[in-house]
Protein backbone atom coordinates (compact mmCIF):
# COMPACT_ATOMS: atom_id res chain seq x y z
CA UNK A 1 0.00 0.00 0.00
CA UNK A 2 1.43 3.40 -1.01
CA UNK A 3 1.61 6.14 1.60
CA UNK A 4 -1.22 7.98 -0.18
CA UNK A 5 -3.43 4.88 -0.09
CA UNK A 6 -2.74 4.57 3.61
CA UNK A 7 -3.55 8.23 4.12
CA UNK A 8 -6.82 7.82 2.22
CA UNK A 9 -8.09 4.88 4.24
CA UNK A 10 -7.08 6.49 7.55
CA UNK A 11 -8.67 9.84 6.63
CA UNK A 12 -11.94 8.29 5.46
CA UNK A 13 -12.20 6.02 8.51
CA UNK A 14 -11.71 9.00 10.83
CA UNK A 15 -14.19 11.08 8.87
CA UNK A 16 -16.86 8.42 9.21
CA UNK A 17 -16.51 8.51 13.01
CA UNK A 18 -16.90 12.30 13.28
CA UNK A 19 -20.09 13.46 15.06
CA UNK A 20 -19.93 17.28 15.15
CA UNK A 21 -18.80 20.25 13.12
CA UNK A 22 -15.96 21.14 15.46
CA UNK A 23 -14.33 17.74 15.06
CA UNK A 24 -14.94 18.00 11.30
CA UNK A 25 -13.02 21.27 11.10
CA UNK A 26 -10.10 19.71 12.99
CA UNK A 27 -10.17 16.85 10.52
CA UNK A 28 -10.09 19.28 7.59
CA UNK A 29 -7.09 21.15 9.00
CA UNK A 30 -5.25 17.87 9.63
CA UNK A 31 -5.87 16.24 6.26
CA UNK A 32 -6.38 19.17 3.89
CA UNK A 33 -4.72 22.14 5.64
CA UNK A 34 -1.48 23.86 4.64
CA UNK A 35 0.63 21.66 6.88
CA UNK A 36 -1.15 18.42 6.03
CA UNK A 37 0.69 15.41 4.65
CA UNK A 38 -1.24 15.75 1.40
CA UNK A 39 -0.32 19.41 0.83
CA UNK A 40 3.32 18.59 1.64
CA UNK A 41 3.19 15.73 -0.90
CA UNK A 42 1.75 18.03 -3.56
CA UNK A 43 4.42 20.64 -2.83
CA UNK A 44 7.18 18.01 -3.07
CA UNK A 45 6.11 16.98 -6.59
CA UNK A 46 8.35 19.65 -8.16
CA UNK A 47 11.47 17.77 -7.08
CA UNK A 48 10.39 14.56 -8.88
CA UNK A 49 11.20 13.51 -12.42
CA UNK A 50 8.54 14.29 -15.04
CA UNK A 51 7.22 10.71 -15.16
CA UNK A 52 7.15 10.22 -11.43
CA UNK A 53 5.54 13.60 -11.06
CA UNK A 54 2.77 12.77 -13.50
CA UNK A 55 1.84 9.58 -11.72
CA UNK A 56 2.24 10.80 -8.14
CA UNK A 57 0.62 14.15 -8.98
CA UNK A 58 -2.44 12.49 -10.49
CA UNK A 59 -2.87 10.23 -7.43
CA UNK A 60 -2.38 13.07 -4.94
CA UNK A 61 -4.80 15.33 -6.78
CA UNK A 62 -7.38 12.59 -6.93
CA UNK A 63 -7.03 12.01 -3.23
CA UNK A 64 -7.36 15.73 -2.57
CA UNK A 65 -10.59 15.86 -4.59
CA UNK A 66 -11.92 12.79 -2.81
CA UNK A 67 -11.14 14.16 0.63
CA UNK A 68 -12.63 17.55 -0.27
CA UNK A 69 -15.88 16.07 -1.56
CA UNK A 70 -16.14 13.68 1.39
CA UNK A 71 -15.60 16.64 3.69
CA UNK A 72 -18.39 18.66 2.00
CA UNK A 73 -20.75 15.74 2.13
CA UNK A 74 -20.09 15.12 5.81
CA UNK A 75 -20.47 18.82 6.55
CA UNK A 76 -23.88 18.86 4.89
CA UNK A 77 -25.01 15.79 6.86
CA UNK A 78 -23.88 17.26 10.16
CA UNK A 79 -25.49 20.65 9.46
CA UNK A 80 -28.79 19.00 8.63
CA UNK A 81 -28.66 16.98 11.84
CA UNK A 82 -27.92 20.15 13.79
CA UNK A 83 -30.89 21.92 12.20
CA UNK A 84 -33.21 19.03 12.94
CA UNK A 85 -32.11 19.07 16.58
CA UNK A 86 -32.65 22.84 16.76
CA UNK A 87 -36.14 22.43 15.27
CA UNK A 88 -37.08 20.16 18.13
CA UNK A 89 -36.51 23.04 20.56
CA UNK A 90 -38.18 25.52 18.26
CA UNK A 91 -40.76 27.88 19.69
CA UNK A 92 -42.96 30.45 18.08
CA UNK A 93 -41.92 33.88 19.34
CA UNK A 94 -45.09 35.42 17.91
CA UNK A 95 -47.39 33.33 20.13
CA UNK A 96 -49.12 35.27 22.93
CA UNK A 97 -47.69 34.47 26.40
CA UNK A 98 -49.61 32.30 28.84
CA UNK A 99 -51.32 34.48 31.44
CA UNK A 100 -49.75 34.35 34.90
CA UNK A 101 -52.35 33.55 37.54
CA UNK A 102 -52.08 36.04 40.36
CA UNK A 103 -52.16 34.74 43.91
CA UNK A 104 -54.43 36.45 46.41
CA UNK A 105 -54.94 36.69 50.13
CA UNK A 106 -57.23 34.15 51.77
CA UNK A 107 -60.66 35.66 52.56
CA UNK A 108 -59.99 35.14 56.30
CA UNK A 109 -56.73 37.13 56.02
CA UNK A 110 -58.52 39.82 54.03
CA UNK A 111 -61.23 40.01 56.71
CA UNK A 112 -58.70 40.20 59.55
CA UNK A 113 -56.95 43.05 57.75
CA UNK A 114 -60.22 44.85 57.10
CA UNK A 115 -61.29 44.51 60.76
CA UNK A 116 -57.82 45.65 61.86
CA UNK A 117 -57.98 48.68 59.57
CA UNK A 118 -61.40 49.71 60.93
CA UNK A 119 -60.25 49.49 64.54
CA UNK A 120 -56.96 51.22 63.74
CA UNK A 121 -59.10 54.06 62.44
CA UNK A 122 -60.92 54.08 65.81
CA UNK A 123 -57.62 54.37 67.73
CA UNK A 124 -56.85 50.69 68.45
CA UNK A 125 -53.45 49.06 68.08
CA UNK A 126 -53.19 45.59 66.43
CA UNK A 127 -51.16 43.01 68.43
CA UNK A 128 -50.77 39.22 68.28
CA UNK A 129 -50.19 36.44 70.82
CA UNK A 130 -49.45 32.71 71.21
CA UNK A 131 -51.81 29.97 70.03
CA UNK A 132 -50.43 27.44 72.54
CA UNK A 133 -51.39 28.92 75.89
CA UNK A 134 -51.13 28.39 79.63
CA UNK A 135 -54.23 27.56 81.64
CA UNK A 136 -53.63 30.66 83.75
CA UNK A 137 -54.10 33.04 80.81
CA UNK A 138 -56.80 31.13 78.92
CA UNK A 139 -58.88 30.56 82.09
CA UNK A 140 -57.55 31.58 85.51
CA UNK A 141 -56.64 35.19 84.76
CA UNK A 142 -60.08 35.49 83.17
CA UNK A 143 -61.87 34.67 86.40
CA UNK A 144 -62.30 30.97 85.55
CA UNK A 145 -60.43 28.97 88.24
CA UNK A 146 -59.94 25.18 87.97
CA UNK A 147 -63.22 23.36 88.45
CA UNK A 148 -65.33 26.44 87.55
CA UNK A 149 -68.40 25.27 85.60
CA UNK A 150 -67.82 28.01 82.99
CA UNK A 151 -64.89 25.94 81.66
CA UNK A 152 -67.55 23.80 79.98
CA UNK A 153 -68.35 26.77 77.70
CA UNK A 154 -65.10 26.07 75.82
CA UNK A 155 -64.29 22.49 74.82
CA UNK A 156 -60.53 22.39 74.94
CA UNK A 157 -57.58 20.65 73.29
CA UNK A 158 -55.12 19.91 76.10
CA UNK A 159 -51.48 18.90 75.77
CA UNK A 160 -48.67 18.03 78.15
CA UNK A 161 -45.73 20.37 78.19
CA UNK A 162 -42.58 18.90 79.78
CA UNK A 163 -40.66 21.20 82.08
CA UNK A 164 -37.78 20.45 84.50
CA UNK A 165 -40.25 20.19 87.35
CA UNK A 166 -42.49 17.73 85.47
CA UNK A 167 -45.43 17.92 83.11
CA UNK A 168 -47.52 21.07 82.94
CA UNK A 169 -50.76 21.06 81.03
CA UNK A 170 -50.96 23.57 78.18
CA UNK A 171 -53.77 24.05 75.72
CA UNK A 172 -54.59 25.35 72.27
CA UNK A 173 -56.23 28.64 73.20
CA UNK A 174 -60.01 28.41 73.03
CA UNK A 175 -60.39 32.15 72.43
CA UNK A 176 -58.25 35.27 71.96
CA UNK A 177 -59.27 36.56 75.42
CA UNK A 178 -56.02 35.35 77.13
CA UNK A 179 -54.43 38.29 75.36
CA UNK A 180 -56.43 40.62 77.65
CA UNK A 181 -54.32 39.83 80.77
CA UNK A 182 -51.17 39.39 78.66
CA UNK A 183 -51.49 42.91 77.22
CA UNK A 184 -52.53 44.51 80.54
CA UNK A 185 -49.61 42.89 82.40
CA UNK A 186 -47.24 44.72 80.08
CA UNK A 187 -49.07 48.04 79.69
CA UNK A 188 -50.33 50.81 81.92
CA UNK A 189 -53.76 52.27 81.03
CA UNK A 190 -54.98 53.64 78.69
CA UNK A 191 -55.13 50.43 76.63
CA UNK A 192 -56.75 50.10 73.23
CA UNK A 193 -55.86 46.94 71.32
CA UNK A 194 -57.36 44.44 68.89
CA UNK A 195 -55.88 40.94 68.68
CA UNK A 196 -56.53 38.75 65.63
CA UNK A 197 -55.59 35.05 65.73
CA UNK A 198 -56.42 31.37 65.43
CA UNK A 199 -58.37 29.62 68.16
CA UNK A 200 -59.28 25.96 68.68
CA UNK A 201 -62.22 24.08 70.13
CA UNK A 202 -62.75 20.38 70.57
CA UNK A 203 -66.16 20.31 69.01
CA UNK A 204 -68.12 18.92 66.07
CA UNK A 205 -68.29 21.06 62.94
CA UNK A 206 -71.45 22.28 61.24
CA UNK A 207 -72.44 25.13 58.92
CA UNK A 208 -71.47 27.82 61.46
CA UNK A 209 -68.94 26.00 63.70
CA UNK A 210 -65.37 24.83 63.04
CA UNK A 211 -62.90 23.25 65.47
CA UNK A 212 -60.25 25.72 64.30
CA UNK A 213 -61.39 29.23 63.48
CA UNK A 214 -60.32 32.84 63.98
CA UNK A 215 -61.29 35.55 66.41
CA UNK A 216 -60.47 39.20 66.85
CA UNK A 217 -60.31 40.27 70.47
CA UNK A 218 -60.79 43.90 71.43
CA UNK A 219 -59.85 45.60 74.69
CA UNK A 220 -60.16 49.21 75.81
CA UNK A 221 -59.31 50.24 79.38
CA UNK A 222 -59.20 53.80 80.65
CA UNK A 223 -60.82 56.08 83.19
CA UNK A 224 -64.54 56.52 82.69
CA UNK A 225 -65.21 53.88 80.01
CA UNK A 226 -68.84 52.71 80.06
CA UNK A 227 -71.13 50.22 78.33
CA UNK A 228 -72.23 53.10 76.06
CA UNK A 229 -68.64 53.25 74.72
CA UNK A 230 -68.74 49.50 74.02
CA UNK A 231 -72.04 49.76 72.15
CA UNK A 232 -71.02 52.89 70.27
CA UNK A 233 -67.71 51.35 69.16
CA UNK A 234 -69.27 48.09 68.01
CA UNK A 235 -72.21 49.77 66.24
CA UNK A 236 -69.70 51.94 64.41
CA UNK A 237 -67.63 48.87 63.51
CA UNK A 238 -70.75 47.07 62.18
CA UNK A 239 -71.73 50.16 60.15
CA UNK A 240 -68.26 50.39 58.57
CA UNK A 241 -67.93 46.64 57.93
CA UNK A 242 -71.44 45.62 56.85
CA UNK A 243 -72.90 48.95 55.70
CA UNK A 244 -75.57 51.07 57.32
CA UNK A 245 -78.50 49.03 55.96
CA UNK A 246 -77.75 45.98 58.15
CA UNK A 247 -79.33 45.65 61.59
CA UNK A 248 -77.33 44.92 64.75
CA UNK A 249 -78.65 44.04 68.17
CA UNK A 250 -77.27 43.52 71.69
CA UNK A 251 -78.58 41.03 74.22
CA UNK A 252 -77.47 39.97 77.67
CA UNK A 253 -74.98 37.12 77.77
CA UNK A 254 -72.68 35.60 80.37
CA UNK A 255 -68.87 35.40 80.32
CA UNK A 256 -67.02 35.06 83.66
CA UNK A 257 -64.50 37.78 82.71
CA UNK A 258 -67.02 40.58 82.02
CA UNK A 259 -69.81 42.17 84.02
CA UNK A 260 -72.26 42.86 82.50
CA UNK A 261 -71.82 40.57 79.49
CA UNK A 262 -73.52 40.94 76.11
CA UNK A 263 -73.67 39.31 72.72
CA UNK A 264 -74.01 41.17 69.45
CA UNK A 265 -75.89 39.76 66.48
CA UNK A 266 -76.48 40.89 62.90
CA UNK A 267 -79.69 40.21 60.96
CA UNK A 268 -79.48 36.88 59.08
CA UNK A 269 -78.23 37.30 55.49
CA UNK A 270 -80.37 34.49 54.13
CA UNK A 271 -83.82 35.33 55.49
CA UNK A 272 -83.14 39.03 56.23
CA UNK A 273 -84.51 38.56 59.73
CA UNK A 274 -87.62 36.51 58.88
CA UNK A 275 -86.21 33.26 60.33
CA UNK A 276 -84.67 30.28 58.51
CA UNK A 277 -82.67 27.07 59.04
CA UNK A 278 -79.33 28.88 59.12
CA UNK A 279 -80.24 31.29 61.92
CA UNK A 280 -82.26 28.67 63.79
CA UNK A 281 -85.44 30.63 62.95
CA UNK A 282 -84.31 33.55 65.09
CA UNK A 283 -83.55 35.96 62.21
CA UNK A 284 -80.23 36.87 63.88
CA UNK A 285 -76.67 35.51 63.72
CA UNK A 286 -74.41 36.07 66.70
CA UNK A 287 -71.03 37.53 65.75
CA UNK A 288 -69.41 38.38 69.04
CA UNK A 289 -69.40 38.21 72.80
CA UNK A 290 -68.51 41.31 74.78
CA UNK A 291 -68.90 43.15 78.05
CA UNK A 292 -67.34 45.40 80.67
CA UNK A 293 -64.03 43.94 81.92
CA UNK A 294 -64.66 42.25 85.30
CA UNK A 295 -63.00 44.07 88.26
CA UNK A 296 -61.29 40.78 89.26
CA UNK A 297 -59.56 40.63 85.88
CA UNK A 298 -58.34 44.23 86.29
CA UNK A 299 -57.14 43.65 89.87
CA UNK A 300 -55.23 40.48 88.91
CA UNK A 301 -52.99 42.49 86.55
CA UNK A 302 -52.53 45.26 89.12
CA UNK A 303 -55.00 47.79 87.70
CA UNK A 304 -57.02 49.84 90.22
CA UNK A 305 -60.60 48.80 89.41
CA UNK A 306 -61.97 51.83 91.27
CA UNK A 307 -60.12 54.11 88.89
CA UNK A 308 -60.17 52.19 85.64
CA UNK A 309 -62.96 50.51 83.71
CA UNK A 310 -62.89 48.88 80.33
CA UNK A 311 -64.76 46.95 77.71
CA UNK A 312 -63.74 43.82 75.80
CA UNK A 313 -65.16 41.88 72.91
CA UNK A 314 -64.31 38.73 70.94
CA UNK A 315 -65.68 38.28 67.44
CA UNK A 316 -65.68 35.25 65.16
CA UNK A 317 -63.81 36.25 61.98
CA UNK A 318 -65.33 33.69 59.59
CA UNK A 319 -68.84 34.82 60.55
CA UNK A 320 -68.08 38.30 59.16
CA UNK A 321 -67.62 37.45 55.45
CA UNK A 322 -70.41 34.85 55.85
CA UNK A 323 -72.75 37.64 56.84
CA UNK A 324 -71.37 40.14 54.36
CA UNK A 325 -71.35 37.92 51.26
CA UNK A 326 -74.07 35.37 52.13
CA UNK A 327 -71.74 32.33 52.50
CA UNK A 328 -73.88 29.50 53.84
CA UNK A 329 -71.20 27.18 55.28
CA UNK A 330 -68.09 28.01 57.33
CA UNK A 331 -66.35 24.85 56.04
CA UNK A 332 -65.85 26.51 52.62
CA UNK A 333 -63.07 28.61 54.15
CA UNK A 334 -60.85 25.63 54.91
CA UNK A 335 -61.75 23.24 52.06
CA UNK A 336 -59.19 25.01 49.80
CA UNK A 337 -61.49 24.82 46.79
CA UNK A 338 -60.11 27.42 44.37
CA UNK A 339 -63.56 27.98 42.84
CA UNK A 340 -64.59 29.38 46.24
CA UNK A 341 -61.34 31.17 47.12
CA UNK A 342 -61.01 32.94 43.72
CA UNK A 343 -64.22 34.86 44.37
CA UNK A 344 -62.55 37.09 46.95
C1 LIG B 1 -65.68 33.91 73.46
O2 LIG B 1 -64.84 33.21 72.85
C3 LIG B 1 -65.28 35.04 74.32
N4 LIG B 1 -63.87 35.02 74.53
C5 LIG B 1 -65.72 36.33 73.72
C6 LIG B 1 -65.60 37.48 74.63
C7 LIG B 1 -64.47 38.29 74.56
C8 LIG B 1 -66.62 37.79 75.52
C9 LIG B 1 -64.34 39.38 75.40
C10 LIG B 1 -66.49 38.89 76.37
C11 LIG B 1 -65.36 39.67 76.32
P12 LIG B 1 -67.70 32.77 72.31
O13 LIG B 1 -67.35 31.39 72.69
O14 LIG B 1 -69.14 33.11 72.28
O15 LIG B 1 -66.98 33.81 73.26
O16 LIG B 1 -67.07 33.08 70.84
C17 LIG B 1 -67.05 34.38 70.30
C18 LIG B 1 -67.45 34.35 68.82
O19 LIG B 1 -66.64 33.41 68.12
C20 LIG B 1 -68.86 33.88 68.59
O21 LIG B 1 -69.74 34.96 68.68
C22 LIG B 1 -68.80 33.36 67.19
O23 LIG B 1 -68.88 34.42 66.24
C24 LIG B 1 -67.41 32.80 67.11
N25 LIG B 1 -67.40 31.34 67.31
C26 LIG B 1 -67.55 30.66 68.46
N27 LIG B 1 -67.43 29.35 68.27
C28 LIG B 1 -67.17 29.18 66.95
C29 LIG B 1 -66.91 28.03 66.12
N30 LIG B 1 -66.87 26.81 66.62
N31 LIG B 1 -66.69 28.24 64.81
C32 LIG B 1 -66.70 29.49 64.30
N33 LIG B 1 -66.91 30.60 65.02
C34 LIG B 1 -67.16 30.46 66.34
Ligand 1 centroid – CA 147 distance (Å): 21
- More confident call, 167 vs 293: 293
Supply the pLDDT for residue 25: 94
The CB of 316 under 6 Å from ligand 1? The reply is yes
Q: Report the distance separating Cα 44 and Cα 36, nearest Å.
A: 12
- More confident call, 9 vs 40: 9
The CB of 283 under 6 Å from ligand 1? The reply is no
Q: Which of 111, 142, 255 to mutate to test the pocket of ligand 1 (most atoms within 8 A of CB)?
A: 255
Q: Where are the alpha helices (DSSP H) in 1-159?
A: 3-17, 21-32, 37-44, 50-88, 107-121, 135-138
User: Which of 194, 216, 258, 265 is an active site residue?
Assistant: 258
| Selection from 183, 184, 210 nearest residue 199 by Cα | 210
pLDDT band at residue 1 using 50, 70 and 90 as cut-offs:
low
| Selection from 212, 208, 213, 284 nearest residue 246 by Cα | 284
The CB of 286 under 6 Å from ligand 1? The reply is yes
DSSP string computed for 64-96: HHHHHHHHHHHHHHHHHHHHHHHHHT---TTSP
The CB of 195 under 6 Å from ligand 1? The reply is no
The CB of 201 under 6 Å from ligand 1? The reply is yes
Any catalytic annotation for residue 284? no
Q: Between the CA of residue 40 and those of 45, 65, 83, 177, 260, what are the distances in Å? A: 9, 15, 36, 98, 113
121-148 confidence digits (pLDDT tens) = 999 999 999 999 999 999 999 999 998 9
> Hey, how many other C-beta atoms are within 10 angstroms of the C-beta on 232?
12
pTM above 0.75, yes or no: no
For the chain, the C-alpha Rg in angstroms (whole number) is 42
> Hey, how many other C-beta atoms are within 10 angstroms of the C-beta on 256?
19
Q: Are 196 and 170 in contact (CB under 8 A)?
A: no
Q: Between the CA of residue 298 and those of 135, 148, 295, what are the distances in Å? A: 18, 19, 5
63-77, 176-190, 264-278: least confident range: 264-278
Q: Are 221 and 241 in contact (CB under 8 A)?
A: no
Average pLDDT of the segment spanning 155-163 = 83
Q: Report the distance separating Cα 1 and Cα 301, nearest Å.
A: 110
Average pLDDT of the segment spanning 148-154 = 88
Q: Work out which ligand 1 atom sits closest to the CA atom of 218.
A: 9
Residue 337 scores a pLDDT above 90: yes
57-71, 78-92, 139-153: least confident range: 78-92
Beta-strand pair 258-267/248-253: antiparallel
Q: Work out which ligand 1 atom sits closest to the CA atom of 201.
A: 30
Supply the pLDDT for residue 198: 98
Average pLDDT of the segment spanning 222-247 = 94
Any catalytic annotation for residue 88? no
Ligand 1 centroid – CA 107 distance (Å): 19
pLDDT band at residue 4 using 50, 70 and 90 as cut-offs:
confident
All residues at 6 or more sequence positions from 98 whose CB lies less than 8 Å from its CB, including other chains? none
Q: Report the distance separating Cα 214 and Cα 320, nearest Å.
A: 11
The CB of 7 under 6 Å from ligand 1? The reply is no
Q: Work out which ligand 1 atom sits closest to the CA atom of 293.
A: 11
Residue 78 scores a pLDDT above 90: yes
Q: Are 260 and 311 in contact (CB under 8 A)?
A: no
Q: Which of 215, 253, 291 to mutate to test the pocket of ligand 1 (most atoms within 8 A of CB)?
A: 215
The CB of 175 under 6 Å from ligand 1? The reply is yes
Q: Between the CA of residue 235 and those of 3, 79, 230, 264, what are the distances in Å? A: 107, 79, 9, 9
Amino acid sequence: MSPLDELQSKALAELAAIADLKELEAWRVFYLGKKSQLTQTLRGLASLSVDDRRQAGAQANQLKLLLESSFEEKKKTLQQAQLAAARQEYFDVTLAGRPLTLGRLHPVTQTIREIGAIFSGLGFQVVEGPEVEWDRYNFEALNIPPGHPARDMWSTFWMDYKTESGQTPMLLRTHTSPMQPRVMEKTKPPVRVVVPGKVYRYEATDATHESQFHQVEGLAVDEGITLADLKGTLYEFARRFFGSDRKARFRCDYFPFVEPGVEMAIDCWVCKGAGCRLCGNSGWIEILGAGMVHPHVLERVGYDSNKYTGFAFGMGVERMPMLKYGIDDIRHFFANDLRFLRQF
